[in-house]
Amino acid sequence: MSKKIQAIRGMKDLLPKDSTLWLQVEQTIGTLFSAYGYKNIRTPMIEKTSTFCRAIGEVTDIVGKEMYSWQDTNAESISLRPEGTAGCVRAMIEHNLPREGLQKVFYLGAMFRRERPQKGRYRQFHQAGVEVFGSNNAKSDAELIMMSHSLWNELGLKNLHLEINTLGSEAARANYKGILVDYFNQHKNQLDKDSLERLAANPLRILDSKNAKLQNLINTAPKLIDYIDKESVEHFDEFKTYLKYLNIPYQINPRLVRGLDYYNRTVFEWTTPDLGTQETICAGGRYDGLVEKMGGKPTPAAGFAIGLERLILLLGAQNITLINKPPLSIYLAVLGDEAQLKSMQIFTKLRRALPGVILYNDINLGSFKSQFKKANKVGADFALILGTEELNNKQVSIKPLKRQGEQQSMTLDKAIDYFKSIL
């Protein structure tokens, strides 16, 4: 017996019953980000593995254990993108875009990470993200907060909390790393295997550990915020002042270091208590050194990414339905060979005259009875009938399916006027 056909673990189908909401969320995001002057960018789903290693960092969860990588036939290692920033930065450098001035971009798309699947955590998931290249000031960080905040408002989401932190300059971080290593070395016996690895490779990331047993040790560790450079402190103060003027409340979370290596100065997360353990909906920050590190001219940059599955789960958890009134729908019921041919012209004319209206073209060619059945099944408001009689009289008939009223015959133009009048 053959094995039951199945999708790969952690990879989900988006079925027709759910996709309307997704389209709506994606449209809302695209419209909103565009309204902030950000333009869509689409980079490939696969990049050279080295691109991700350079951007994200070798000793991160993502590159260390979550990436889907394989040898291409030319023996080059390539990977499915685990996040969107590396590809954006690569594209900026390759096409020399920052040379033309400030670059504001947004993307929407699938990302891949081999993680343990659970609610809000999948192996293929989707992110909407923005990146801005060419601005080093705190106002640009605040604009990112403003954008994400207005998206929550636009979608009607509540109970999202902003956590912020500053990672300081690279030099300040290096100094702090030494202090942190000393601290954890004194408590080495309490560390788990993961943290011991991180202690050697990237100690800051121990602060990011999700191991409950480590939380006390982490809470009493020296705080980065006490060791950062003067310029970064000023930048952070400015950022906080902007947030005050935006009237967006925040909490400083000194443990917020982000899972990726590339951040400096401002980092932030939007979290919610409404989704259980997968509480981060949106995460981002500044990464001024990355473009240069990847071979471009020094270009300050910042960005964020929203997890769309978690965003949609949150809409559900908060009982938010975005779909207001379903659009008017008409089923074109047709009988007879000549009528079938003619119906294509009528369909085209209706399509042009009634934008937004859902038109069902009957492609099963059954009896009128079976066509009306199908029309009811898809929930059409009207059947527009074209049979031999209508054809001979150069008319169509309108049959209301959901509301009261008799079937009526009229010219196609009259029918269009009628539909327009009830839109």
Q: Which stretch binds ligand ATP (CB under 6 A): 41-49, 152-160, 275-283, 329-337?
A: 275-283
Decide: is 309 part of the binding site for ligand ATP (CB under 6 A): yes
Crossing angle of helices 16-35 and 308-317, rounded to 10°: 110
**Which of 122, 161, 146, 155 lies closest to 280 in space, CA to CA?**
161
168: left (phi over 0), alpha (psi -120 to 50) or beta: left
Nearest approach in angstroms of CB 406 to ligand ATP is 53
Nearest approach in angstroms of CB 297 to ligand ATP is 26
Across 158-197, b (16+ Cβ under 10 Å) vs e yields eebebbbbbbbbeebbeebeebbeeebeeeeeebeeebee
Number of residues counted as binding ligand ATP (CB under 6 A) = 18
Binding test (CB under 6 A) with ligand ATP, winner from 24, 48, 69, 115: 115
Q: Toward ligand ATP, which CB reaches closer, 145 or 281? A: 281
Give the C-alpha separation, 136 to 9, whole Å.
41
Nearest approach in angstroms of CB 38 to ligand ATP is 17
Q: Toward ligand ATP, which CB reaches closer, 67 or 396? A: 67
Q: Which stretch binds ligand ATP (CB under 6 A): 151-159, 186-194, 303-311, 363-371?
A: 303-311
Task: Give the residue carrying structure tokens 């993502």.
Answer: 62
Q: Toward ligand ATP, which CB reaches closer, 98 or 303? A: 303
Residues 6+ apart with CB under 8 A from 167: 173, 224, 228, 232, 257, 258, 263, 264, 265, 266, 267, 285
Binding test (CB under 6 A) with ligand ATP, winner from 259, 293, 329, 414: 259
**Which of 132, 134, 114 lies closest to 124 in space, CA to CA?**
114
Q: Tell me the CA distances in angstroms from 215 to 190, 197, 219, 250, 276, one per residue in order.
A: 11, 17, 6, 22, 18
Residue 255 amino acid letter? R
| CA atoms within 13 A of residue 14's CA, in its CB half-sphere | 14
Q: Which stretch binds ligand ATP (CB under 6 A): 112-120, 148-156, 199-207, 385-393?
A: 112-120
Decide: is 109 part of the binding site for ligand ATP (CB under 6 A): no
Query: Phi first, then psi: what are they for 42, rounded to 5°?
Result: -130, 110
Beta carbons within 10 angstroms of residue 118's beta carbon: 11
Task: Give the residue carrying structure tokens 């042009």.
Answer: 352
Nearest approach in angstroms of CB 277 to ligand ATP is 9
Nearest approach in angstroms of CB 240 to ligand ATP is 22
Give the C-alpha separation, 284 to 258, whole Å.
8
Binding test (CB under 6 A) with ligand ATP, winner from 33, 106, 107, 122: 122
Binding test (CB under 6 A) with ligand ATP, winner from 47, 83, 362, 390: 83
Q: Which residue is at the shortest CB distance from ligand ATP?
A: 307
Q: Which stretch binds ligand ATP (CB under 6 A): 21-29, 89-97, 99-107, 116-124?
A: 116-124
Decide: is 280 part of the binding site for ligand ATP (CB under 6 A): yes
Q: Show contacts with ligand ATP in window 191-250 (CB under 6 A).
A: none
Residues 145 and 248: beta-carbon distance below 8 Å: yes
Decide: is 310 part of the binding site for ligand ATP (CB under 6 A): yes
Across 358-370, b (16+ Cβ under 10 Å) vs e yields ebbebeeeeebee
Beta carbons within 10 angstroms of residue 76's beta carbon: 10
Q: Which stretch binds ligand ATP (CB under 6 A): 166-174, 226-234, 246-254, 304-312?
A: 304-312
Decide: is 125 part of the binding site for ligand ATP (CB under 6 A): yes
Binding test (CB under 6 A) with ligand ATP, winner from 41, 164, 305, 386: 305
Nearest approach in angstroms of CB 124 to ligand ATP is 8
Site residues for ligand ATP per CB under 6 A = 83, 113, 115, 120-122, 125, 127, 259, 278, 280-283, 305, 307, 309-310
